[in-house]
Structure 1
Amino acid sequence: MNVGAQRSVPPVRTPPPRVRAARVRINRLTQAIRFVRVSRLLLWTIWVIYRERRRVLRARERGDPDVQPNVELLIDVLVAFRKTAVELGVLMIKLGQFLSSRADLLPQRALDVLASLQDEVPPAPFSHVVSVIESELHRPVDELFSSLEPEAAAAASLGQVHKAVLAATGQEVAVKVQRPNIQQLVDTDLSTIRFVIWVISRFVDTSQFIDLMAFYREFKRTIYEEIDYVKEASNARRFAEIFADRRGILIPRVMEGYTSRRVLVLEWVDGIKVNDYPALEAAGISRFEVAKRTVEAYFYQFFQIGFFHADPHPGNIFVQPGLSGDDPTVAFVDFGMVGSLTRTTKQGLRELFVGFVVNNPHAMVSALNRLGFIGEGANLGVIERGVALMMEHYHGITLGEVRDLSVRDVAYELEDLLYRQPFRIPAQFAFTGRAIGTLSGLATGLAPDFNLVAVSIPYAQKFLGLNRDGATQNAQQLLTQVLDAGRTLLTLPASLERVLTKIEAGQVEFRVAENGRNGALRGRIARGTRGGGLRASTALPILAIGIASLAAGAALIVNQDLVAGWFCLGLAGLAVVGLAFRR
């Protein structure tokens, strides 16, 4: 990779007359046809998802907990959605990927259909690329670049990347250019999505398992940020600052003076795609070390910074060999999709931790409710009973046994229970789960024996404010903060009577069968529950993080040689948060 010193860029001048506008409007007939196709696609897809959920829930209300959604019908509908989304391109592909992160809407097999929806499309003509560059940067291409590859290095639904060499510095760069008519297509499709949501909301109430308008707002915000390359450049600069002093992580530099809303120029990154295992091995690079550095980089973003790269698919991560196979450099590219954990969200997660430390299922459910994971009209009493029973199930496991837990087995054991619970994924968490799910699969592919739990513990310790010297004091400070806020976790709140009234409206029957430490846990909710769902395969990564966070606290609050009862009591707490996520 050429990283030569950057010299001053020649001043930008007024575009010459030969530069034509690179934005060609789509005619009204084409817009009308697209509106009809998108509307029909979304109306049918959302209606079937809603109808299956309603059918299952009504059966449970009648005391028939064995009714299952028609998975084959859902698969057929989603296969048709995927096919049409690929044909329509642009926003429909993004919408399918966004929907694939919503385990609160669809069962596992149905979500598998959308998991294979890849944002890979044929590139736009090179003439379009030249036209956009010249109209956006107001200079002829041959003045900007001494060379510009006509063949795209990568192409997606919103933009494509070409390799070039800066005329001013001789440095190799990646030129990212927006596809034709993206702004107009995005505006049209978003208007259609909003119209469909309005129509659906006039006839059915979907609020018990998803807030459609919140879903729309988050999706809209994400898309508009992705097509604003000035924003992406800002994200790239921030990541460069975050990892400036961190060994083994590379963030490409933004080439100042070459960025607009539709064009972005970054330092070119040479490297091996992270999932090209034969090439990694041929280069003598340790796949385990690549997995370790990649996962550590993400835990650092999640737990310590609260600002993270939300699209860690293999096309956005490259590996460069170091002086030895155990010293590779992991390079991240494409910073259009980012996520963040606000201070309020972090505090909510800490309160969840406090709830399990003091063995208070009510406090844990309250924290989940404040974080937005529990749907409207949920029977909180039934959920509290479920959490309490899961606490009892895991009580008595030692820290050593925690590390040996089969996270995948536990996730599958909880799947049937949580599918019937009224959990939903808040909009701000959708891409968080998707990112962690993708990351987990990436790490497993690189090194099947990679221990996500062990790597996450030191980061979880810092997140929870715990350290070996002042663990008890810091834990007490967490309790004090919550108590000072008026949320007593050691006694039931004044609303207990209302909660008990809700409990009376529902019945819960649990059957716990022990089979070693990974005993099966099964539950049935006969009445009083609404919505919710889980995908076990992507519950895996968050459950692992939950285990790590709890293990970190337990290892500091109690002696390492003692039974980590407090940890075990809280396993279900963070697992419930994580198991709602889907990549």
Structure 2
Amino acid sequence: MGVLANLWRLARTGATFQRTGAMDEVLEALEAPPALRAAARILGWPLAPLGLAGDPALPPLPRALTALGPAYVKFGQTLSTRPDVVGARLAAELSVLQDRLAPFPEAEARAEIARELGAPADELFADFGPAVAAASIAQVHPAVDRATGRKVAVKVLRPGVERAFRKDVDAFFFIAEVIELMLPASRRLRPRAVCRHFAQVVATELDLRLEASAAAEFRANSRDDPGFAVPEVVWNLSARRVLTLEWVDGLPMSDVPAIAAAGVDLRDLSRRVIQTFLRHALRDGFFHGDMHQGNLKVAPDGTLIALDFGIMGRIDPYTRRVYAEILYGFLQQDYRRVAEVHFEAGYVPEGQDLETFAQALRSIGEPIFGQDASRISMARLLSHLFEVTERFGMQTRTELILLQRTMVVVEGVARTLDPQVNMWRTAQPVVEEFMHANLGPAAALRDLRRTATVLARFGPRLPDVVERALRRAAVAGPEPDDAPARLGPALAGALAGAAAAAAVALLL
């Protein structure tokens, strides 16, 4: 998109923010100096009539974003999971954007289905009904699979949404660059990095085949989890712009009085929300990254049902172990061990002092553990932890940021059900279960087996690697005393691999 088009979008965005009253909130979140805020009011006043009015029933910022269109709404939804960027108050305000858009015409949804699935909607579905939920990217229709008679939910992307998002994402980057130029203090919030994160999220959500795959994997992982369910994908009725899942009946998680009236134990449900999320993150390394109330239902028997799998998080096995050890160390208030785990994992650079870092960790944990149950927050602890590790030179790890952001949302959902829920006491059984399964002799033997399996795949190449390394060492002509130190990393790795394979072979 050209500069002039981006300038027009910037002007229209600014005018809409001014007209709806969102400008002051944004400048405050960006920590703009008073002089700049005053200048924005003076310059923005003449432009305000050019802005879009939006829905007066909404708070200022959601009002502005909904007026500007689907991409802006999606951006606001993304920011609602970033209290670290916009602050807790604005994050809560932006949470009203979930499923608040008007649906597009049913005829257009039917046309999309025919194009994607190769047959008219009436041939594939019986009782194809009006949209029951409409979001920034897609909307959902209830229907019946004509071939099986099973009730299904058909998710259809908005027509032209890909092109509209490409244009708006380009404008977002332009606006982010302008903000960083005019507000140097905003750079700590990394506006362009936030835009990159948003672009990645949207790219995944615009291909419903990826969401279908995520839903299927999540369902397989959690199949045996008591009190938790994921709807089944109907693969023959899904494509890039259409996703069909089995229909699930349940009460929206946001309707707490109705859930209580149905006889569901709110305290138990609150506990399951937390434990389910942690179990998926630690046990499977694959978790729902957008567990807000709009994506959760409660079945009549109290089963927790997850929906919308466009944002999923992954954590590799080693990071899971590190994360669990950090949580366990805090649970035991063993701050030195937490510090050691950070150093062992390489999260904190060499040269930092272990004892000083442990002392900083204690300053995080002790005030939290001294609070009453309603104020004990795992998300707050993780947020403070990232702040401290940043001061000690720790590089940002995006997978842990997503985990922490989701933990904020999960805590919020759990506390709407039970304001007195004790986050740490609830999390402890899951963390301890993971620790018992992944530390100790049995876990070490399992790791050795996996190592042996990997080495076995490269076994035929090990002799050549060793021979080449020995020849290079011979050409270099090391002195006898220095030979072991100068054999080179390739030979050292090959010999270490061979030794490990031999040790595992003896064990097995």
User: 2:336 is matched with which residue: 340, 351, 359?
Assistant: 359
User: 1:408 is matched with which residue: 375, 390, 405?
Assistant: 375
User: 1:248 is matched with which residue: 215, 224, 227?
Assistant: 227
1:295-306 matched pairs, under 5 angstroms? 295-306=274-285
- 1:244: Cα distance to partner? 1.7
Q: Is 1:186 matched up with 2:200?
A: no
Please tell me the residue identity of whatever aligns with 1:160: Q
Partner Cα separation in structure 2 for residue 474 and residue 259 of structure 1: 40
Q: Is 1:345 matched up with 2:319?
A: yes
Q: Is 1:156 matched up with 2:126?
A: no
- 1:185: Cα distance to partner? 1.1
- 1:457: Cα distance to partner? 1.3
Q: Is 1:174 matched up with 2:162?
A: no
SS of the residue 2:415 aligns to? helix
Whether contact under 8 Å (2:379, 2:404) holds in the other structure is no
User: 2:12 is matched with which residue: 37, 56, 70?
Assistant: 37
Aligned to 1:138: 118
Partner Cα separation in structure 1 for residue 296 and residue 375 of structure 2: 25
Instruction: Return closer, same or farther for 1:81/1:268 CA change in 2, 3 Å cut-off.
Output: same
Q: Is 1:269 matched up with 2:248?
A: yes
Partner Cα separation in structure 1 for residue 403 and residue 5 of structure 2: 36
User: 1:84 is matched with which residue: 43, 54, 64?
Assistant: 64
Instruction: Return closer, same or farther for 1:205/1:112 CA change in 2, 3 Å cut-off.
Output: same
Cα displacement string for residues 202-243 of structure 1 (whole angstroms, at most 9, x for unaligned residues): 666569734444333322111111121100100110111012
Partner Cα separation in structure 2 for residue 442 and residue 213 of structure 1: 29
Instruction: Return closer, same or farther for 1:384/1:90 CA change in 2, 3 Å cut-off.
Output: farther
Partner Cα separation in structure 1 for residue 271 and residue 224 of structure 2: 18
- 1:369: Cα distance to partner? 8.3
Partner Cα separation in structure 2 for residue 231 and residue 404 of structure 1: 42
Aligned to 2:85: 105
Aligned to 1:485: none
Aligned to 2:347: 370
SS of the residue 1:308 aligns to? strand
Whether contact under 8 Å (2:73, 2:136) holds in the other structure is yes
1:208-357 matched pairs, under 5 angstroms? 209-322=188-301, 328-343=302-317, 345-346=319-320, 348-349=322-323, 352=326, 357=334
Please tell me the residue identity of whatever aligns with 1:433: Q
Aligned to 2:484: none
SS of the residue 1:177 aligns to? strand
Deviates more, 1:358-367 or 1:123-132: 358-367
Partner Cα separation in structure 2 for residue 53 and residue 385 of structure 1: 34
Deviates more, 1:410-419 or 1:234-243: 410-419
Instruction: Return closer, same or farther for 1:300/1:389 CA change in 2, 3 Å cut-off.
Output: closer
Whether contact under 8 Å (1:160, 1:179) holds in the other structure is yes
SS of the residue 2:273 aligns to? helix
Cα displacement string for residues 152-192 of structure 1 (whole angstroms, at most 9, x for unaligned residues): 11111111111111111111111111112210111111111
Instruction: Return closer, same or farther for 1:54/1:106 CA change in 2, 3 Å cut-off.
Output: farther
Instruction: Return closer, same or farther for 1:205/1:138 CA change in 2, 3 Å cut-off.
Output: same
SS of the residue 2:275 aligns to? helix
Partner Cα separation in structure 2 for residue 210 and residue 272 of structure 1: 37
Please tell me the residue identity of whatever aligns with 2:375: R
RMSD over aligned Cα atoms: 4.7
Partner Cα separation in structure 1 for residue 433 and residue 99 of structure 2: 36
Whether contact under 8 Å (1:312, 1:435) holds in the other structure is yes
Whether contact under 8 Å (1:101, 1:433) holds in the other structure is no
Partner Cα separation in structure 2 for residue 124 and residue 47 of structure 1: 30
Q: What TM-score do the two structures reach when normalised by structure 2?
A: 0.67
SS of the residue 2:264 aligns to? coil
Whether contact under 8 Å (2:154, 2:242) holds in the other structure is yes
Cα displacement string for residues 344-397 of structure 1 (whole angstroms, at most 9, x for unaligned residues): 53355367577984727865775898389xxxxxx978x9858616627977x9
SS of the residue 1:339 aligns to? strand
SS of the residue 2:336 aligns to? coil
Instruction: Return closer, same or farther for 1:339/1:404 CA change in 2, 3 Å cut-off.
Output: same
SS of the residue 1:148 aligns to? coil
Please tell me the residue identity of whatever aligns with 1:251: V
- 1:406: Cα distance to partner? 3.7
SS of the residue 1:162 aligns to? strand
Deviates more, 1:412-421 or 1:354-363: 412-421
1:54-133 matched pairs, under 5 angstroms? 80-133=60-113
Instruction: Return closer, same or farther for 1:214/1:180 CA change in 2, 3 Å cut-off.
Output: same
Whether contact under 8 Å (2:71, 2:168) holds in the other structure is yes
Whether contact under 8 Å (1:259, 1:265) holds in the other structure is yes
Please tell me the residue identity of whatever aligns with 2:315: L
Aligned to 2:426: 455
Partner Cα separation in structure 2 for residue 32 and residue 472 of structure 1: 62
User: 2:403 is matched with which residue: 411, 415, 432?
Assistant: 432
SS of the residue 2:127 aligns to? strand
Whether contact under 8 Å (1:197, 1:213) holds in the other structure is yes
SS of the residue 2:313 aligns to? strand
Q: What TM-score do the two structures reach when normalised by structure 1?
A: 0.59
Aligned to 2:415: 444
Whether contact under 8 Å (2:124, 2:145) holds in the other structure is yes
Partner Cα separation in structure 2 for residue 410 and residue 252 of structure 1: 31
Partner Cα separation in structure 1 for residue 381 and residue 424 of structure 2: 19
Whether contact under 8 Å (2:117, 2:238) holds in the other structure is yes
Partner Cα separation in structure 1 for residue 339 and residue 136 of structure 2: 45
Partner Cα separation in structure 2 for residue 414 and residue 431 of structure 1: 15
Whether contact under 8 Å (1:272, 1:320) holds in the other structure is yes
Partner Cα separation in structure 2 for residue 244 and residue 104 of structure 1: 33
Q: Which runs of 5+ in 1 are unaligned?
A: 1-27, 56-68, 323-327, 373-378, 479-583
Q: Which runs of 5+ in 2 are unaligned?
A: 42-57, 448-508
Partner Cα separation in structure 2 for residue 419 and residue 433 of structure 1: 9
Whether contact under 8 Å (2:9, 2:171) holds in the other structure is no
Instruction: Return closer, same or farther for 1:385/1:114 CA change in 2, 3 Å cut-off.
Output: farther
Instruction: Return closer, same or farther for 1:371/1:380 CA change in 2, 3 Å cut-off.
Output: closer
Partner Cα separation in structure 2 for residue 338 and residue 449 of structure 1: 28
Partner Cα separation in structure 2 for residue 184 and residue 157 of structure 1: 13
Aligned to 2:52: none
Please tell me the residue identity of whatever aligns with 1:261: R
- 1:473: Cα distance to partner? 10
Whether contact under 8 Å (1:137, 1:259) holds in the other structure is yes
Whether contact under 8 Å (2:282, 2:324) holds in the other structure is no
